A and B are shown apart, each in its own frame.
Chain A
Amino acid sequence: MADKGGVFVFLEQTEGVLEDASMEVLGKGREIADELGSSVTGAVLGENVRGLAEQGARNGAHLVLLADSPLLKDFTAEAYASVVEKMVRAKDPDMLLIGATHNGTALAGMLAVRLGAGLMAHVVDLEVEQGTGVLLGSVPGFGGSIVAVCRCKKGRPQMATVRPGIFPAPQATAQPGTVEPFGPGLRPEDVRCQVVERVVQHGASVSKAQRVVVAGLGCKDDLSLPKKLAEATGSAFGVSRPLSDKGLAPKNLVVGSTGSSLNAKLAVVVGVSGAAHFTSGLRNVETVVAVNLDPNAEIFKHADYCVVGDARRLVPKVVSELGGNEH
């Protein structure tokens, strides 16, 4: 049955775990669908992932299409795009929302072309225009300092990838949706890219944490101190993008426009200079404490408490005062 006018959400999984970013998009998708009086369809692709489809159906999706196949065990952009394209063509939704994870971003760009659809990338807000029902997306650009409100003027569905950590996780619904198997119609030769090795570590999401310690380049590649501070304060640990690029921390810990937005009550930011693409990830933090050697560091414009000083001297003392182990 086609569901014209509906909202379609890609529910991404890695190694049998649904991405937080996908769940957040599902919650927002449900909100939009309720506003428009339409429905939400989710898509789960993978191998032996029926449980994840059911999880989507309990958390806001009216219907979850489940493509379960050994050929979909690993995310590969081309094979996934061809299956999601078939699903979207079958359901003819008005909107297609995808969490802006690495895989979600790769999927979205290919899908937009295959569907002839407009795509708003990495949106930090979504709303439905009054009267027209058109989707408006707030798209950050120029390092996150300027935001453009965009719309899809041609092509359907209206597509958006959504930055992780922007919308809250959905509430379980009283009436769970249904799960419907979907034949992926893939032949082995259609999967041209093979994953031969994968190292994955699922940790707590920085975007959900109540307290976060974030380390930047000023920590001089030694993350042991900020990590101890995180431990002593019961905080999650995050990093600015360059530390992750250097291989010192995984991508899911990155705070800012190419990573996650924080939603913490308290963020202690150590040794981060404060470029716009970083500080845009602090907008929803209640209290920001910044520690930096440079009194003119940009980060101090975005902090409630500005500590000019050497973190390598200050942090061990703070940890020790808090009763943690400074060594």
Chain B
Amino acid sequence: MNIVVCMKVTPKIEQIKFDEVKKTIIREGVENELNDADKNALESALKLRDSVGGKVTVLSMGPPSFEPFLRLAVAMGADDAVLLSDRAFGGADTFATSRVLAAGIEKLEPFDLVLCGEASSDGSTEQVPPSIAGWLGIPHVSYVSEIGVAGDKLRARREITHGHEVVEVGPPVLASVQLGCNSPRFPDFRRKRWADKEFKLRVITNQDLAFAPTDVGLEGSRTEVTGLSRMRSPERKREVIQGAEDDVVRRLVEIVRG
């Protein structure tokens, strides 16, 4: 089975600071990481490959500085890694991002399954996976917590708002994987050395994809941000209740009784 895993490199969100004066996000000094849910997607892909055979290719869009993260994915077990990198792709919203990722997927060898994490930790829109499926014209199954093969179809359990369901769908298909649905494996030490030193990472630029500049990046986006602000939480009393346990219990009872 040929599996493509879309992975995003995201800033560690707990390190993100907000400049109240300029109303911008301070990115300087913020470390990057592979998006957590995408690591769950990679783990799902590796498990599936290990059980039925095939190949796992990771695909990401971003600047050349993302390369080490893709090498990390290779060290975790991916067979191949491709970076979609071009200044023209920068500043993209979910519409333009999914368009480039879909075109990148079509440049690879024919696939049976595309896996994505359900959401990125920074944008959290959850819109890139269904949008890629839209561009590729293939079915999309979201919030997948388990995926396997049933005859000539894929069988997946997905979480829905009031419970769960099991679906069957023939390839090719795109599935977005639930954050935390498995424990991503650690990179193999020897494979890591190979991935860092010898593995040939492929870079696809817009020369290969041949998009008009108006189709991708900032220009190809359908939405724009007009302003940023910190999400204000309402002022709270923050009254600390402490002391002897029985007093604390009495006070708590008063409060919940209203």
Contact = CB atoms under 8 A, between A and B. Distances in A.
Contacts of A19: 161
A195 B256 CA distance: 43
Interface size class of B (residues with CB under 8 A): 35 or more
B167 interface: yes
A28 B96 CA distance: 28
A154 interface: yes
A130 to B, nearest CB: 14
A268 B256 contact: yes
Contact of B141 (A120, A146, A193): A193
A287 B255 contact: yes
Among A77, A110, A154, residue most surrounded by chain B Cβ atoms (within 10 Å): A110
Interface residues of A, number: 94
Contact of A200 (B131, B162, B181, B226): B162
Contacts of A313: 245
A146 to B, nearest CB: 6
A120 B230 CA distance: 18
B169 A146 contact: no
Given A110-B140, A142-B25, A307 B248 contact: yes
A192 B139 CA distance: 7
A305 B169 contact: no
Interface stretch (A2-10, A58-66, A276-284): A276-284
Among A114, A140, A198, A308, residue most surrounded by chain B Cβ atoms (within 10 Å): A198
B146 to A, nearest CB: 11
Interface string A142-155: 11111111111111
A316 to B, nearest CB: 9
B180 A242 contact: yes
User: Is the contact region of chain A dominated by helix, strand, or loop, or is it mixed?
Assistant: mixed
Given A77-B140, A109-B131, A145 B252 contact: no
A121 B227 CA distance: 16
B77 interface: no
Given A146-B25, A192-B170, A257 B241 contact: no
A66 to B, nearest CB: 22
Interface in A120-177: 120-122, 136, 139-155
Given A147-B231, A317-B249, A305 B239 contact: yes
21 contacts: A103-B161, A108-B130, A113-B98, A113-B134, A118-B222, A140-B124, A143-B124, A145-B16, A147-B231, A153-B221, A197-B166, A198-B163, A199-B163, A251-B159, A251-B161, A251-B162, A283-B231, A289-B252, A303-B236, A305-B237, A314-B245
Please name the 6 residue pairs, one residue from A and one from B, whose CB atoms are nearest each other, closest first: A109-B130, A113-B134, A118-B222, A121-B125, A198-B165, A197-B166
